[in-house]
Chains A and B, each alone.
Chain A
Amino acid sequence: SQKIEQNSEALNIQEGKTATLTCNYTNYSPAYLQWYRQDPGRGPVFLLLIRENEKEKRKERLKVTFDTTLKQSLFHITASQPADSATYLCALPYTGTASKLTFGTGTRLQVTL
């Protein structure tokens, strides 16, 4: 069955450092992958989409990579700030069903001063 794995343990880093979150998937051949941010008590908010033919995508301090051979995406936040503290979710479409977006369990990021 299709499975998405994110590190369930919280990631604690110091302000100014680069945070790197991992999303691994199995039994998928997704055409794209998305990353969302979720704050406590709020709905997820879309951050970035990367397609299978793109190795890397950037948006301000965010960078996403997509390795279809390793079946892995890395999500980087450079010069992290306490305001970046949140849970980050990766999401992939079920194979052949673009409208059926499946989410990983998310990784909680805590950025401290």
Chain B
Amino acid sequence: DTAVSQTPKYLVTQMGNDKSIKCEQNLGHDTMYWYKQDSKKFLKIMFSYNNKELIINETVPNRFSPKSPDKAHLNLHINSLELGDSAVYFCASSQDSRNTGELFFGEGSRLTVL
């Protein structure tokens, strides 16, 4: 059973399009995250939700809109895609937002904007 699963794994699209990435975790965790890993492999946090509530919102363009319908799901919608949005997007979860818990990552969604 996959703990944190995200779809799609690969996404190739044109500039200006809108796309979504979905994430689900079956670990019963309260907190979920979106991280972006750029071409230099730098992994940077974008958003975090705790029990469906947004708790971290880094300096991310408002073209990026996360949505958490329930605590097991965290989706990422990106409007008006730009070349610089090309990256691997990782979803992750942790037991809660307060403890020192480890992060469980999905396999990543590689977004290529042409």
Binding site for B on A (CB under 8 A): 31-32, 34, 36, 41-46, 49, 51, 87, 89, 91, 93, 97-103, 105-106
Main secondary structure of the interface of B (DSSP, over half): strand
Main secondary structure of the interface of A (DSSP, over half): strand
B56 touches A31 (CB 8 A): no
B103 touches A89 (CB 8 A): no
A-B pairs, top 4 by smallest CB distance, nearest first, are A43-B105, A46-B102, A99-B97, A103-B43
The answer to whether residues A32 and B50 also contact, given A89-B43, A99-B55 and a CB cut-off of 8 A, is: no
Binding site for A on B (CB under 8 A): 4, 31, 35, 40-45, 48, 50, 55-56, 90, 92, 94, 97-100, 102-108
Q: Other than A42-B107, A44-B103, give 18 A-B pairs with Cβ distance below 8 A.
A: A31-B100, A43-B4, A43-B90, A45-B105, A46-B103, A49-B100, A51-B100, A97-B56, A98-B98, A99-B48, A99-B50, A100-B48, A100-B56, A101-B103, A103-B35, A103-B43, A103-B44, A105-B42
The answer to whether residues A41 and B108 also contact, given A31-B100, A32-B100 and a CB cut-off of 8 A, is: yes
Complex Cα distance, B44 from A87, in Å, reads: 16
A102 touches B45 (CB 8 A): yes
B41 touches A99 (CB 8 A): no
- Which of B43, B98, B102, B107 is in CB contact (< 8 Å) with A34? B102
- Which of B41, B50, B55, B106 is in CB contact (< 8 Å) with A43? B106
Contacts of B107 in A (CB 8 A): 41-43
- Which of A89, A97, A98, A100 is in CB contact (< 8 Å) with B100? A98
Complex Cα distance, B98 from A106, in Å, reads: 25
Complex Cα distance, B35 from A99, in Å, reads: 13
